[in-house]
Amino acid sequence: MNKIVIANLKMNLDYDEIKEYMKVMGSHSFEHLDLLIAPTSIYLDLLKDYKYPVVAQNLYCQDSGSFTGEISPKQLKSLGIHYAIVGHSERRNIFFENDMLVCQKVKACLKNNIVPILCIGERLEEQERADIVITEQLTRNLDGIPDCKDLIISYEPVWAIGTGLIPNDNDIKDRVQLIKDLMRQKYQKDVFVLYGGSVNKENCKSIMNIDDIDGVLVGSSSKDPIYFKEMLSNL
């Protein structure tokens, strides 16, 4: 089984830069990895037939309607897009998305056969009780979802995102196992669990080698294609 790497390009790269990015990343094959790219939404159409599957960074929970600035699961599906990040901490913290909305978005994805990549994780001040926070977040974000066909969870401690700080490998391993156990209890099945937060060239290999981890979600380190390509080639 290949490990998964998701490049979250966030609100980076202008039109010429994304085309260059596609050229550089497309010139190489990462046969040992399943690489997925999450560009800013205006580039989804540009990347929809690209070498790597494309991921929406966000979506709204309705199929259509008067929701200025939003994109719907139905629209994504009509472009042939099968993945969407849901509940990223930047959405929760900067755009005030709460657990209820995140849960509705997960449901909307599943209804439209889009695989939600659900991001969960504790804040700095919650570190001491991270297991409880993660358990509660997962319960609220999957409330009323009796079965989940496809779901990817990314464990992303909020304090590790964009800060250069990361938990030690043992802590990541414990949290990944906790999430897998919770999902087995709830759905009697295994789901993919990734880690996200300050993954870079120096730490990527050791994170990818943690027991049970299915891959990583990479933000800042994925936006320079030359750096990113080198990082992935060394795994």
- Contacts to ligand PGA by CB under 6 A: 8, 156, 161-162, 196-199, 217-221
CA pair distance 12, 219, nearest whole angstrom: 10
CB of 162 to ligand PGA, least distance (A): 4
Q: Between 75 and 89, whose beta carbon lies closer to ligand PGA? A: 89
Q: How far apart are CA 222 and CA 36, in angstroms?
A: 11
Annotation says 136 is catalytic:
no
* Residue of this chain nearest to ligand PGA (CB atom): 219
Tell me which of 31, 32, 156, 230 is the catalytic residue. 156
- For ligand PGA, the closer of residues 191 and 199 by Cβ is 199
CB of 156 to ligand PGA, least distance (A): 5
Task: Find the DSSP H helices in the chain.
Answer: 15-26, 44-47, 73-78, 89-94, 99-111, 130-141, 169-187, 204-208, 225-233
Residue nearer to ligand PGA on the CB measure, 52 or 228: 228
Nearest approach in angstroms of CB 180 to ligand PGA is: 19
Report the chain's terminal Cα–Cα distance, integer Å.
Answer: 15
Q: Is 156 part of the annotated catalytic residue set? A: yes
Which residues does 3 contact at the CB level (< 8 Å), separation at least 6?
32, 33, 34, 208, 213, 214, 215, 216, 235
CB 135 within 8 A of CB 186: no
By C-beta, is 156 or 214 nearer to ligand PGA?
A: 156
From the candidates 82, 88, 97, 122, which is the catalytic residue?
Answer: 88
Question: 10 Å Cβ neighbour count for 141?
Answer: 23
Judge contact between 167 and 133, C-beta under 8 A: no
- Residue 235: CB minimum distance to ligand PGA, A: 16
Closest by CA position to 194, among listed 208, 211, 214: 214
Residue closer to ligand PGA, measured from CB, 191 or 218: 218
Find the shortest distance in angstroms from Cβ 53 to ligand PGA.
17
Cβ neighbours, 10 Å, residue 192? 20
Catalytic residue list:
88, 156
